[in-house]
Amino acid sequence: MAESAQRNSYLQAQVEAVHRNLRFLETVATSPIGIVTDLKSLREAIPAELASEERDRQAFQDVTGRGKDPRRTGLEASDVVRQTFEMIGKLTPEGESILSSDWTSRASKVLDRITDRLGRDIRQAVAASFDGIYVIVDPEHSNGRPVVEVAAKALSGGACAIQLRDKTGERRTVLDAAQKLQEMCAEAGAVFIVNDWVDIAALVNADGVHLGQNDIPIGRARTLLSEAQLTGTSNALQQEALDSESDGADYVAVGAMFATDTKQDTRPAGVETLKQVKGSVGVPVIAIGGINADNIGQIAYAGADSACVASAVTKADDPEAATRQLDELFKRA
């Protein structure tokens, strides 16, 4: 008897938590309007006896006032709601359901829509911060210097993003470097992208992963990534960039713009292709390949949102000064 009373109060606390988290989602998932209405109707169908709108709002302010993007907190709240109502279902004795199967199936669909929407909004906001110099660090092209050291200098020089590209290292070495770079980029307010390795991007919670035409397809990569993590692709043709966008790429890189020694077997895709791509996709467009201080102006004029460079920074004697100079030239053009 005592056990059952205890379980009931425990279950009731979970029900109250679902109620509160749904109200929180109403405050962060503000569009489209249909989602808010659906959330409200789900919430109002919950038997939450202790709910207090005033107390909830106060609690939300405490959380959202801490500087974390409320959309990210919203994604976490969606997960919590789903796990909590599933647990309530499992712990409730047969025939005594608190949340009906109709309610849970409706809730599941609404939460899917919310995570889609919040994830897309977050990815778009992150991609919008590709607005300057995006630096690829690669241990094979850093003049023997550790990638973390080169990246630290690029960040001090104002890089908006760092990509870790390592085609030859042991996976654990790549993982360790990725972990460190993720922390450094988060601290600097820059985007961190892992080249090729979707698993490593997922493990270190990188901002995203960069995929070539013959790498894991975006759709498959997405199943390993969180909703908030980006995918970007390499493209040499306008059609490839269009296909990338319709497959869900959050940004497209176009190149090689100019001759490069950093990557073997690149296909040329000059400034004209860059202009065509910029005129035909809605996602940010990043120029790549052989970009340096002499030609970065052409890239900026052609409308690239960002210039992605490896050797112009990673092989410079002073990667910080090189990044700063490229950034100024790019933004001035």
Catalytic residue ranges: 165, 234, 263
- Please identify, using beta-carbon distances, which residue of 117 and 153 lies nearer to ligand TZP: 153
- Judged by CB under 6 A, how many residues of this single chain contact ligand TZP? 16
Interface segment toward ligand TZP; rule CB under 6 A; list 96-104, 119-127, 152-160, 256-264 = 256-264
Of the candidates 69, 140, 199, 215, which one interacts with Mg ion according to CB under 5 A? 215
Closest CB 247 distance from Mg ion, rounded Å: 15
Report 46-85 residues binding ligand TZP (CB under 6 A): none
CA distances from 294 to 150, 169, 325, 333 (A): 22, 32, 11, 12
Other beta carbons less than 10 A from residue 72's beta carbon: 16
> Which residue has the closest beta carbon to Mg ion?
212
User: Which of the choices Mg ion, ligand TZP, none does residue 218 contact, using the CB cut-off of 5 to 8 A by kind?
Assistant: none
Residue-wise DSSP of 199-260: HHHHHTT-SEEEE-TTSS-HHHHHTTS-TT-EEEEEESSHHHHHHHHHHT-SEEEE---S--
Closest CB 283 distance from Mg ion, rounded Å: 18
Closest CB 212 distance from Mg ion, rounded Å: 3
CA distance from start to end of the chain: 76
State which H helix or E strand residue 309 sits in.
Answer: strand 306-309
**Residue 39: which residues within 8 A CB-CB, separation 6 or more?**
22, 25, 26, 29, 110, 114
Interface with ligand TZP, residue 234, by CB under 6 A: yes
User: Which of the choices ligand TZP, Mg ion, none does residue 256 contact, using the CB cut-off of 5 to 8 A by kind?
Assistant: ligand TZP
**Residue 280: which residues within 8 A CB-CB, separation 6 or more?**
238, 241, 242
75, 227 Cβ separation under 8 angstroms: yes
Report 135-194 residues binding ligand TZP (CB under 6 A): 136
Interface with Mg ion, residue 86, by CB under 5 A: no
- Please identify, using beta-carbon distances, which residue of 84 and 213 lies nearer to Mg ion: 213
Report 140-199 residues binding Mg ion (CB under 5 A): 196
Report 262-321 residues binding ligand TZP (CB under 6 A): 262-263, 266, 288-291, 309-312
Q: Which residues contribute to the site for Mg ion (CB under 5 A)?
A: 196, 212, 215
